[in-house]
Chain A
Amino acid sequence: MKEKNGNVLIIGAGVAGMEASLLLANSDKKVYLVERTSYTGGNVIKFEKVFSNMECATCMLAPKQQELLANENIELLTLAEVIDVKGSAGDFTVKVRKKARYVDLQNCIGCSACFEPCPVSVKNEFEEGLSERKAIYVPCPGALPNVPAIDTENCVRFKGKDCQLCKEACMFEAIDFDQKDEELKLKVGAIIVATGFSTFDSKKTPHLGYGKLADVYTAFEFERMFASNGPTEGEIKLRNGETPKSAVIIHCVGREEKGYCSGVCCMYSLKFTHYLKEKLPEIKIAEFYSDLCIPGKSYQKFYEETKTMGPEIIRFNEIEVVNANGQLTVNYKPDTLNPKPQTLNTDMVILAPAIEPDGNANKLAEVIGIPQDEYGFFAEGHPEIDSVATQKEGIFIAGCVQGPKDIQDSVAQSEAAVGKILSSR
């Protein structure tokens, strides 16, 4: 029999993928970590703080991200995607397409001198379009690796112009226009898919006004607004620049459409009350919920702490957000014995949309050859007793790619996938 290949491919460098990589690398496995974006950390690095201990998310992740970059057993491939998987457990051949960064990871020191001269300005997708970035950019200050990438879709040089302003500004000869996209062939024995999630498109619930009414925000938009390294450097302000005096948070956005409860949005919505009260102690807050889903040993305590901050917590049956003569207004029917329609005026509305599979999940599932469930999440080997396995031996799933969950459960799944891999030596 052929010797089993001990290398492991991990797809996605969010909390789940990072934890799995570090554990495997510590056990002397060679790890290839393939990440689609130019940075590590996944969705969690968008958050200023995490429930329920309200720890700073970037501070929490930075040591892991640094360890990841320093560990010699881990080969981090950013701007990369898996395009083909062949073979079987113990002997997979994987093709990875790795886009050129055009900035040398060794030479660049992350000084950001190259951004200023770049003539291109586009909306920064990492910041949910709330701010602009250049064609050579890092998604936000503090991103790791702290090395910019050139976005060839917007860089004018790649549209035939003769620009090299960024290169001229770089004192370290880090910018290299000659880099080429590569196709790599990797040999691995096992694969962990940790490609995470997206959130439900709030435009699909038009009665909540998102996209039509200026001060209706999604959870991610609000996370970035609150982040000290975000577009407003953490200042909570309305589109017109004013400070809101009141805010409404609406839970369960898209729950009905998706047909499941995402299990974390009640918690992050409560976190938003903490955010708001921390910066604007006088602000009036109403949280509209349908069920309070705060499972486990420590989450109810967080809810109780939140309650002492004084938000109104209203259970609703029906809700809509409208513009009533220039005033943002919430019309709702509370879930009480005799529900009468009520209205509440507010300065801003924050929506808590459902967690759904990543937009590329279908494509990736097809490439890897593993099935998805009816919701588009990756299907488990057995939902009750083997939730990190897939139906294909040697291929594992961890984190939100398997279904919505919080950080703790995502990390547990990634450690579990490592357990499965190392025990089947």
Chain B
Amino acid sequence: MPMEEKIGVYVCECGPNIADKVDIDKVVETISSLPSVNVVERHKLLCSEDGKKFLKESIQKNELTRIVVAACSPKQHEVTFMRVCESAGINPYFFQLTNIREQCAWIIDDKEEATERTIRYIRAAIRRVLYHKALEKKEIEANPDVLVIGGGIAGISASLLLASGDRKVYLIEKTKVVGGKVREFAKLFPRMEPCSDIISQKIKEVENNKNIEVHTDSEVSEVLGFLGNFVAKVNTSENKAIEQPSEQAIKEKGLENKELELKVGAVVVATGFSMLDLQQLPQYGYGKYDNVYTALEFEKMNAEGKILLKNGKPPKQIAIIHCVGREKVGYCSRVCCMYSLKFANYIKSKLPSVKVSHLYTDLTVPGKTYQKFYEQTKEKDVEFIRAQDIEITESNGQLTINHKGTPNLKPLNTDMVILSSAITPSSDAHKLAEMLNISQGDNGFFVEEHPKLAPVSTSMEGIFITGCAQGPKNISDSIVQAQAVAGKILSSIIPGKKLELEVKTSEISEALCIGCQTCLEVCSYGAIYFDEIKRVCIVNEVLCRGCGNCVGSCPSGAASSKHFTTTQLHQEVVEALR
């Protein structure tokens, strides 16, 4: 039993809500008779300004050390009363709220029974609060700098918003150049705006930004640490970073296979996408027949100027096949209908007399402007066939598409086929997921912290995902996500400001831990690590969110939650049942 404490118990009437259903006089009388209690008071509405003032003054006047409030749900007013405790100069964790409204007054019709239950609850809370420990708010320093992995449109856009006088951004790109897939595109749907101006403008802004350090030909090999304090290793073999080299780039010029060590507070994964390997879908004849192209190949051919068959002749008929591999990957890639329509526009503007046929399943043209693009494309004498079970054959250089479709079941002869194939996770996704301890979904894309309310965060605090690394999407949405990452980072890691940590974390007793590492498996926040030397698991307080998973799973009772210790819960339950 803990040492002598001065306990105060406050019973709220909540107007008629509790007072009508619970005999508060009797509650006060019974609780007052308990030996350990110093003060018992009732109040009409404890959460009101008047009530809070009363509570504060009473705590101070009586020099109380432990507080129990019997009122409504902790969801509603736990924080309110904790703040009052704090302002009265007592640790807010020396406080317990017991819910006698939702759990007594509102659900028990019989006044006597409700009163009896209320007394039980208060006794249990008194018992519990005696075993509470003072918990203190902790703060850590946070490095405001950011590591961005992947220099596509998403990575570039995030870097541009993040970099500023007091924040440095390291942009790590695997290939020789930044810009990503978008570099290959001549135009952008749906307004057929030339793409090169947009992307080269952005690249220039990156180059000119003194606070962005670009490393091309580079890959991140290790990331250790946690929110605010990551250390990353980068392997770089760049010899020419950018056209107008910054001082930093000059310094590294010519350095082959150097390893850099970077200290950052947050990591952004913007590694984009790959495309489904068409060898997996032999029915389309890719790789077998000459004039069957992938979408990216066609983008490139168009951007280079001429749309020609392998034999150098212009095609007379081109078929664009949507949803290639959709069934295989199990999702709709969201942009391929649109870029397929873009292809029809490329073709019609270069070769107006070519017959263009789309073979599609559903038209995915979501949002306010996309359907219009479809309608405009259709007006250019472009054929749309709803087709299923497509198979392509070739004889004498003539491609034939067999399919089941509407409104036309006939096999379609064509000179050229473009396969609009599924967008898949970047080929590096798995490696990165392991390195960063973030998860991938069934489909291989990185998983967001919450599918609705936290689309660019991950379960690892301080690690963010953006653009097509998070899921297939268009440029506009990729940029929005990049800006969203900036919003999350800029609003949480502020230069000169410390990070406030979760108080009600868990801890693992070194003495009791048997090193089985069960807890390590169940922690979704990567907050537990195994100390190889001591052979015990250790909780990183910075990452722990106090979910309690480890506590429940630990077979040796070594893991405990600081504000829900076994003793606290046991004492509370025993007293409630007594």
Contacts and interface: CB of A to CB of B under 8 A. Distances in A.
B368 A416 contact: no
Contacts of B488: 23, 415, 419
A160 B364 CA distance: 56
Interface stretch (B34-42, B389-397, B477-485, B525-533): B477-485
A98 to B, nearest CB: 21
A298 B447 CA distance: 11
B162 interface: yes
A387 B481 CA distance: 11
Given A295-B334, A404-B368, A423 B164 contact: yes
Interface stretch (B128-136, B283-291, B448-456): B448-456
Interface stretch (A48-56, A216-224, A323-331): A48-56
A385 interface: yes
Nearest to A29: B491
Contacts of B494: 27-28
Interface string A44-84: 00000010110100001000101000100000000000000
B302 to A, nearest CB: 18
A405 B483 CA distance: 17
Interface in B341-367: 362-367
Contact of B486 (A28, A64, A299, A419): A419
Nearest to A409: B477
Contact of A293 (B362, B482, B490): B362
Interface residues of A, number: 72
Interface stretch (B58-66, B258-266, B467-475): B467-475
B48 interface: yes
A414 to B, nearest CB: 8
Interface in A253-298: 255, 259-264, 291-298
A385 B198 contact: yes
A301 interface: yes
A253 B485 CA distance: 35
Nearest to A336: B406
A2 interface: no
Contacts of B518: none
Contacts of A27: 490-492, 494
A418 B479 contact: no
Of the listed residues B334, B365, B456, B484, the one surrounded by the most CB atoms of chain A closer than 10 A to its CB is: B484
Contact of B193 (A293, A337, A384, A420): A384
A109 interface: yes
Given A337-B406, A422-B487, A291 B368 contact: no
Given A172-B45, A300-B331, A335-B386, A411 B491 contact: no
Contact of B75 (A66, A335, A412, A419): A66
Nearest to B326: A300
Most buried by A among B191, B375, B456: B456
A262 B365 CA distance: 9
Interface residues of B, number: 71
Contact of A107 (B48, B365, B472): B48
B312 interface: no
A60 B452 contact: yes
B172 to A, nearest CB: 20
The dominant DSSP class at the B interface is mixed
Contacts of B202: 385
Contact of A53 (B47, B333, B452): B452
A360 interface: no
Nearest to B162: A423
Interface stretch (B9-17, B229-237, B426-434): B9-17
A113 B198 CA distance: 60
B487 A417 contact: yes
B406 A383 contact: no
A152 B483 CA distance: 43
A296 B455 CA distance: 13
A342 interface: no
A296 B164 contact: no
Nearest to A389: B483
B367 A111 contact: no
B331 A259 contact: no
B372 interface: yes
B443 interface: yes
A347 B47 CA distance: 50
Contacts of B367: 260-261, 263, 403-405
Contacts of A373: 368-369
A419 B481 CA distance: 10
A210 interface: no
Nearest to B468: A297
B490 A55 contact: no
Nearest to A423: B161
A26 B491 contact: yes
A173 to B, nearest CB: 10
Contacts of A50: 452
A66 B333 CA distance: 36
A52 B479 CA distance: 24
A168 B138 CA distance: 48
A419 B487 contact: yes
A301 B477 CA distance: 21
B2 interface: no
Which of A297, A418, A419 has the most chain B CB atoms closer than 10 A to its own CB?
Answer: A297
B366 A411 contact: no
Given A23-B488, A412-B477, A425-B164, A296 B365 contact: no
A86 B452 CA distance: 35
Nearest to A398: B480
Interface string A108-131: 010101000000000000000000
B486 to A, nearest CB: 3
A111 B301 CA distance: 69
Nearest to A265: B366
B366 A262 contact: yes
A59 B310 CA distance: 59
Contacts of B365: 261, 291, 293
A24 interface: yes
Contacts of B454: 411
A66 B73 CA distance: 13
B409 interface: yes
A261 B366 CA distance: 5
A244 B456 CA distance: 41
B144 to A, nearest CB: 12
B370 interface: yes
A312 to B, nearest CB: 17
A259 B483 contact: no
Nearest to B484: A415
Interface string B308-338: 0000000000000000001000111110000
B453 A412 contact: no
B49 interface: yes
B232 to A, nearest CB: 22
A70 B79 contact: yes
A363 B438 CA distance: 45
B475 A385 contact: yes
Contacts of B364: 291, 293-295
B445 interface: yes
A318 interface: no
B472 A293 contact: no
Interface in A381-410: 383-388, 403-405, 407-409
Nearest to A294: B332
B398 interface: no
A384 B368 contact: no
Given A55-B452, A261-B367, 16 more contacts: A27-B491, A109-B15, A109-B47, A172-B48, A260-B371, A261-B371, A291-B362, A296-B332, A377-B368, A384-B188, A384-B193, A384-B479, A412-B455, A414-B487, A416-B487, A419-B483
21 contacts: A70-B79, A111-B16, A260-B368, A261-B365, A292-B362, A293-B363, A295-B472, A297-B441, A298-B331, A298-B451, A300-B331, A373-B368, A384-B193, A387-B480, A403-B367, A411-B453, A412-B477, A415-B455, A415-B485, A416-B479, A419-B483
The 8 closest A-B pairs by CB, nearest first: A263-B366, A419-B486, A419-B487, A416-B483, A415-B484, A418-B487, A295-B334, A422-B490
